[in-house]
Amino acid sequence: MSEAEVWSSLSDATRIVVVTNETVHDLYAAQLRRMLPVEPDFVHIGDGEQYKTLDSFANIMDSLIAMEHDRSSTLIALGGGVIGDVAGFVAATYQRGIGLVQVPTTLLAQVDSSIGGKTAVNHERGKNLIGAFYQPKLVVIDTQTLSSLPQRVYIEGLAEVVKYGIIRDAEFFIWMEQNVDRLLNRNQTTLAHAVRRSCELKSQIVESDEKESNLRLILNYGHTFGHGIENAEGYGSLLHGEAVAIGMVLAADLSVRMGLLSTSVARRIEHLLQNLELPTRLPKKASIERVFSAMKRDKKTVGKQQRHILVRDIGSVSVETEIEPVDVQETLENRTSH
């Protein structure tokens, strides 16, 4: 499909606003501008998880109102997961909803946050506590944008790719084990397959359960621990994908502790993440008490029951609620760096 065909759904647009940050604007704004039927307005927010806030949300809203955008406007989120989540929440709520296009430029956003319709901002007491489900009319993914990413930002996205293999596709997991070097070196053919398969798997799950009432919960594998770690460490200290990588190993450890998973499979999960240069242990300075407390406030907790996504085998996970706090505590203690 040509670039013109990809963007043809916007051919009737009369007003477009692009939400991005300064770095991404300098890299891709001119290229995007050439694809659009009208000259867009641009709104910038800060770069990083620390800007995924109600303040950023309000600043974008103020700009849209000042520019006199209306319900016929289309908002394009150009950037990584933070841009996509904040801008998507704006699109969901500005004048009760305007058109949204996601143009993710990081691996993490391409395989995860741009797909599925979740939009949100963080609160100081928890991650993604304020948001809405809102589907984009279009998602445009160009893996060439990944060549401009710093290595650490690129690698954090691989955590979400690994997640799909663990929760849904054992063959995909084996393929990753066999292609570690190509993934780390950003081989374009390898990357195209990784992104395409990740998107296919997430789309299948979301189509079955858009509002996360049942099956979609498995996409949170590694995130109950991961979000607790992010909140306890302070947003921006660990990248989201790094926290999720640690969270996946913690969840595998808990799965072994619950008698659901063999130690050998848990080691395979840890080894693949390590080979992809992702962290697998809590930082030395991490406070287990703060992580544990933040996990209690996670939005996946219902009543006083935490919902943990635990592994039964590569490609098979389950949602578990009958988990004793002492087992979670012991898992955290077992996986803290010394």
CB 122 within 8 A of CB 162: no
Q: Which of 69, 163, 227, 308 is catalytic?
A: 227
**Rounded Cα gap, residues 200 and 168, in angstroms:** 11
**Rounded Cα gap, residues 287 and 309, in angstroms:** 22
**Rounded Cα gap, residues 74 and 113, in angstroms:** 19
- For β-strands 99-104 and 74-79, DSSP reports them as parallel
Q: Which of 202, 257, 308, 335 is catalytic?
A: 202
Q: Which of 168, 216, 308, 335 is catalytic?
A: 216
| Residue 200 a catalytic site member | no
Q: Which of 15, 197, 240, 257 is catalytic?
A: 240
Amino acid letter, residue 41? D
Q: Which of 49, 156, 160, 230 is catalytic?
A: 160
| Residue 21 a catalytic site member | no
Torsional class of 259: left (φ above 0), alpha (ψ -120 to 50), beta (otherwise): left
CB 154 within 8 A of CB 110: no
| Residue 137 a catalytic site member | no
| Residue 202 a catalytic site member | yes
Q: Which of 21, 122, 128, 220 is catalytic?
A: 220
| Residue 296 a catalytic site member | no
| Residue 22 a catalytic site member | no
Q: Which of 223, 257, 308, 335 is catalytic?
A: 223
Q: Which of 15, 52, 118, 168 is catalytic?
A: 118
Q: Which of 75, 67, 121 is nearest to 97 (CA)?
A: 75
Collapsing DSSP to helix, strand or coil, 245 comes out as helix
| Residue 212 a catalytic site member | yes
Q: Which of 96, 284, 285, 304 is catalytic?
A: 96
Residue with tokens 């620390």: 50
| Residue 193 a catalytic site member | no
CB 222 within 8 A of CB 112: no
Q: How long a stretch of residues is the chain?
A: 338
| Residue 216 a catalytic site member | yes
| Residue 25 a catalytic site member | no
Which positions are catalytic?
Answer: 96, 118, 160, 202, 212, 216, 220, 223, 227, 240
